[in-house]
Amino acid sequence: MYTIVDIETTGNGIKGNRITEISIFKYDGHEVVDEFTSLVDPECEIPYFITGLTGIDNETVRGAPKIEQIAEKILEITEGCIFVAHSVNFDYNVIKNELKNIGLDFVRKKLCTVRLSRKLIPGYRSYSLGKLCTALNIPLSDRHRARGDAHATVLLFRRLLRTEGAEKVFKAFLNSRSQEATLPPGLPRETFENLPSSPGVYYFKNATGTIIYVGKAINIKKRVLGHFYDKSSKEVRLCRETTDIHFELSGSELLALLMESSAIKHHYPAYNRAQKRTVQQYGIFAYQDRRGIMHLAYNKLKMVPKAITVCNSPTACRSFLEQLCKTFELCPKFCHLQESTGSCSHYSITECRGVCRDDEALADYNERVAEAIAQVEIKKDDLLIRQKGRTVSESAFILLENGVYSGYGFVENEIQLTSREDLDAYLIPQKNTVETQGIIQSYLNKNKGNILVLTNRVV
Residues 396, 202: Cα–Cα separation, whole Å = 19
| Amino acid, single-letter form, for residue 200 | G
pLDDT at 281: 81
Contact 222, 170 (CB under 8 A): no
pLDDT at 441 over 70: yes
Q: What is the pLDDT of residues 307-321, one digit of tens each?
A: 888 887 899 899 999
Band (pLDDT 50/70/90 cuts) for residue 369 is very high
pLDDT at 206 over 80: yes
Residue, of 457 and 343, whose pLDDT is higher: 343
pLDDT at 389 over 60: yes
Q: What is the pLDDT of residues 37-78, one digit of tens each?
A: 999 999 999 998 899 989 999 999 999 999 999 999 999 999
Q: 209-231 burial by CB neighbour count: b if 16+ within 10 A, else e?
A: eebbbbbbbeebbebbbebbeeb
Q: What is the pLDDT of residues 257-315, one digit of tens each?
A: 999 999 999 999 999 987 766 677 888 999 999 999 999 999 998 898 888 888 878 99
Cα dist. 458→48, 82, 157, 384 in Å?
Answer: 67, 67, 68, 11
pLDDT at 256: 97
Band (pLDDT 50/70/90 cuts) for residue 14 is low
Beta pairing, strands 32-39 & 110-112:
unpaired
Q: CA quadruple 431, 433, 438, 444: dihedral positive or negative?
A: positive
pLDDT at 4 over 80: yes
List the Cα angle 23/26/32 in 5-degree steps. 105
| The total number of residues written for the chain in this structure | 459
In eight-state DSSP terms, residue 75 is H
Residues 308, 318: Cα–Cα separation, whole Å = 14
pLDDT at 458: 45
pLDDT at 177 over 70: no
pLDDT at 382 over 90: no
pLDDT at 380 over 70: no
Residues 228, 221: Cα–Cα separation, whole Å = 11
List the Cα angle 42/47/52 in 5-degree steps. 110
The rounded Cα 284 to chain-centroid distance in angstroms is 33
pLDDT at 305: 80
3-state secondary structure of 49: helix
Q: E-strand spans in 353-421?
A: 383-388, 394-401, 404-412
Q: What is the pLDDT of residues 225-251, one digit of tens each?
A: 999 888 777 888 899 899 999 999 999
Percent of the chain with pLDDT over 90: 63
pLDDT at 102 over 90: yes
Domains and CATH numbers, the chain: 2-174 (3.30.420.10), 189-267 (3.40.1440.10), 282-376 (no CATH), 383-453 (no CATH)
- Please state the rounded mean pLDDT for residues 387-401: 92
Q: What is the pLDDT of residues 122-164, one digit of tens each?
A: 988 889 999 999 999 999 988 889 999 999 999 999 999 999 9
Beta pairing, strands 404-412 & 2-9:
unpaired
pLDDT at 152: 96
Contact 133, 144 (CB under 8 A): no
pTM: 0.64
Band (pLDDT 50/70/90 cuts) for residue 378 is low
